[in-house]
Amino acid sequence: MALTKELALFRRTKSLETEIDDFLDKLSESGMVFEHAVKLYLADGRTEEFDEKLRHVNQLESTADRLRRSVETQLYAETLIPESRGDVLGLLENLDSVLNLFEGALWSFSIETPDIPSEYHADYAALTETAVQGVESLVLASRAFFRNIASVSDHMHKVMFYEKEADKVSTKLKRAIFASDLPLSHKVHLRDFVEHIDNVADRAEDVADRLTIYAIKRTV
Amino acid sequence: MDIAVLLFLSSALFLGWALGGNDAANVFGTAVGTQMIRFTTAAVICSVFVVLGAVISGAGPAETLGRLGAVNALAGSFMAAFSAALAVYVMTKFGLPVSTTQAIIGGILGWNLFSETVTDTDTLFKILSTWVLCPLLAAGFAMVLFKMVTAYLRTSRLHLLRTDAYTRLGLILAGAFGAYSLGANNIANVVGVFVASSPFSDFSVFGLATFTAAQQLFLIGGLAIAVGVLTYSKRVMLTVGSGLMPLSPVAAWVVVVAHSLVLILFASEGLERMLAANGLPTIPLVPVSSSQAVVGAVLGIAILKGGRGIRWNVLGGIGMGWVLTPLLAGLVCFIGLFFLQNVFGQTVYRPVPYVLSEPVLERLERAGVKTDRLGELRGQAFSSARRFRQALGERMALTGDDEAKLMAYAEVDPMAIDPARLPDLETSRLSAGQVQAVRGLTGRTFLHTWMLAEALARESGEWRPREKTTENKAHNKRLRKNLDFVFRTFRVGE
């Protein structure tokens, strides 16, 4: 009786593993779509193609939400991984907040359609790339947390590195914006978008900090 | 069955229940405490496997306990088991982690003292040495296992959830194994003292297998343990989970496996045969304490982690329990026996007299024991082992080996081959030739068991012990068991 229950547990385990992997796929994918969308906006402004990317991220976000809720409910309903399910729950929710930042930034581009002068395009693009790379490293670190705890730190330091790089780019960009002859309202608008993108890298670093603690807890 | 028999067995049931409530927590406590397995699942698995272990592999340690002191009257067995159960209860009240093993040893020693039986110091030493060996072995096993498991988990890159599922399955399997070894090893504590005075007799199940009197006792004891698990172990399990040291589920698994390995090592007759056949030193088959095994295993893991989190006061408490429990049980047993005998008029032991008769002296000569200085003791009877030994000691200095031979040959244990009891042999495990040999002695009486054994050996080759080699050890052991059965059947006054 107990054995058949255990076998059923193995099947459920397999499906849960897949759901967690899917969730991380969605986060990674939305980062790539985000980068693509920002570059499209910088090139041509708000086009049909840009809106298509926005819809794509929207869709990824809602799928990820569904997966996250399903994983969390199962972990608690089946009392799986009792000693680390609180950490897994926290990790998934924090990762989800990164995805929300991608979505929020794209919505702001779509609604506010900022007018970004061409001399800043390169820096905006660089900032976006760095932030997305940070998130990508975070996804790898999270996968390692589930499968290979020892290599979590291999990815972790990259998240920190990209966050610092993003900070440098955003500071440089903000200085350039405020040193220009643009009207103050325009400057403030441009700064808001620098921060929208930079926030992604900052958030990724925050999540990475927590992940470090979760990983230490598991190795002790 | 006599109602008095049930009354006397009740103390064994009490002891079994206490063992189930406390020691079962060692097997599944960490699993239930860490929420990896539900209590009901744990309790059911534990109960079933405790009973199986007790009935199938319980004989080895029970024999050793029997050698320490063959408590030969039911009321005596009752008191020994009752004093042990009481000692466990009192110690637990004071929050000292104790084991039924130490308590029952104390009870038996109390009985030996009261009945003036000589304690077999070899066996006592064997048991005492395992109290040190058992936690050390458990710690060693736990360290090796923990290293192996963590190395495996590092290289295998199992998913967190998969590790969790495997750990759960592992905890269930290890728990079942642990419960089996607990039953096999510790059943001796519960009913071991009743084996020599068992109220049951062997019977055969459809002629396929014989269910020995001892196994029937083990079954009852196992059931008592199972009831203890089902009714009382939940609270203990939940506290064990966090009591010793916070453990991860994987560490919990390691602890259970190490504990079970140690218990089965000290209970397995098969392993003993295997070791003996390969000329390796054997491990004594004795009841060991499952609490000590678990504490040892947890300590092993703690040492691997740099010795952090060891609670030294708990360790001190355990050490004190080792000394106090047997003392308390022995004292209670001695006083209790006095009251049972003098106030309630119960027979708490069957006196074992000794006599240096002609055949005994002759037999001793043949065995190479010098008897010339024992002339004045010729024909004299002694009421107890202690008085006999004292008399011997006054006359001459004997080596331990010679003294053991003297005691064994001079022990009076009258046997009569009563024709009315011959049918009992038909359902036993004796071979046809062996039964025939016993029939040949119908009507004869023997003053000492060895005389009957030698008479049987003269009747049939199937009763002759083989030369003492490791290959023949199993054969001679079987022969010994069959002889014991014949002695039980034809003992005068049984």
pLDDT tens string B121-167: 777 887 788 888 888 999 999 999 999 998 888 888 788 888 888 88
Instruction: Kindly tell me if the per-residue pLDDT of B241 is higher than 60.
Output: no
CA A208 to centroid of chain Cα atoms: 11
Work out the minimum CA distance from B95 to partner chain A, whole angstroms.
28
* Residue-range domains of chain A with CATH: 13-219 (1.20.58.220)
Give the model's pLDDT for residue A112.
94
CA A154 to centroid of chain Cα atoms: 18
Q: Are B363 and B450 in contact (CB under 8 A)?
A: yes
Report, as an integer, the average pLDDT of B13-41: 81
Q: How far is CA A217 from CA A205, B162, B257, in A?
A: 19, 18, 24
Q: Are A166 and A134 in contact (CB under 8 A)?
A: yes
Report, as an integer, the average pLDDT of B185-193: 77
Q: Which residues of B touch A88 (CB under 8 A)?
A: 160
Higher-pLDDT residue of B64 and A192 is: A192
By C-alpha distance, the chain A residue nearest B36 is A82
Q: Cα–Cα distance between A103 and A57 in angstroms, integer?
A: 6
Which regions of chain A are under pLDDT 50? none
Give the model's pLDDT for residue A26.
95
Give the model's pLDDT for residue B61.
67
Q: Which of A13, A83, A145 sits opposite B248 (nearest CB)?
A: A83
Give the model's pLDDT for residue B428.
64
* Among B369, B357, B347, B376, CA closest to B414: B357
By C-alpha distance, the chain A residue nearest B153 is A148
* Among B386, B387, B392, B385, CA closest to B364: B392
Q: Mutate which of A1, A3, A6 to disrupt the B interface (most B C-beta within 10 Å)? A: A6
Q: Which residues of B touch A9 (CB under 8 A)?
A: 165, 168-169
Work out the minimum CA distance from A195 to partner chain B, whole angstroms.
36
Higher-pLDDT residue of B400 and B251 is: B251
Q: Which residues of B touch A89 (CB under 8 A)?
A: none
Query: Cβ contact (<8 Å) for B35 and A145?
Result: no
Q: Retrieve residue A23's tokens.
A: 């969730």
Report, as an integer, the average pLDDT of B294-317: 78
Band (B94; pLDDT cuts 50, 70, 90): low
Give the model's pLDDT for residue A165.
95
| Cβ pairs A/B, distance under 8 A | 52
The rounded radius of gyration (Å) of the Cα atoms in chain B is 24
Q: Which of A2, A81, A218 sits opposite B161 (nearest CB)?
A: A81
Q: Mutate which of A147, A153, A154 to disrupt the B interface (most B C-beta within 10 Å)? A: A147
Q: Are B268 and B185 in contact (CB under 8 A)?
A: no
Work out the minimum CA distance from A124 to partner chain B, whole angstroms.
38
Per-residue pLDDT tens digits for B312-359: 776 777 677 778 888 888 898 888 888 888 787 777 777 778 887 777
Query: Cβ contact (<8 Å) for B154 and A6?
Result: no
Work out the minimum CA distance from A23 to partner chain B, whole angstroms.
15
Instruction: Kindly tell me if the per-residue pLDDT of B395 is higher than 90.
Output: no
Work out the minimum CA distance from A192 to partner chain B, whole angstroms.
40
**Terminal C-alpha separation, chain B:** 15
Give the model's pLDDT for residue B207.
57
By C-alpha distance, the chain B residue nearest A88 is B160
Give the model's pLDDT for residue B260.
87
Query: Cβ contact (<8 Å) for A9 and B34?
Result: no
Work out the minimum CA distance from B386 to partner chain A, whole angstroms.
55
Higher-pLDDT residue of B18 and B227 is: B227
Q: If interface means Cβ-Cβ distance under 8 Å, which residues of chain A face chain B?
A: 2-3, 6, 9-10, 13, 16-17, 20, 79-84, 88, 145-150, 218, 220
Identity of the residue numbered B471: E
Helix (H) or strand (E) holding B444: none
Q: Which of B157, B172, B248 sits opposite A148 (nearest CB)?
A: B157
Give the model's pLDDT for residue B202.
64
* pLDDT, mean over chain B: 79
Query: Cβ contact (<8 Å) for A81 and B164?
Result: yes
**Cβ neighbour number for residue B383 with a 10 Å cutoff:** 12
Give the model's pLDDT for residue B203.
66
By C-alpha distance, the chain B residue nearest A74 is B161
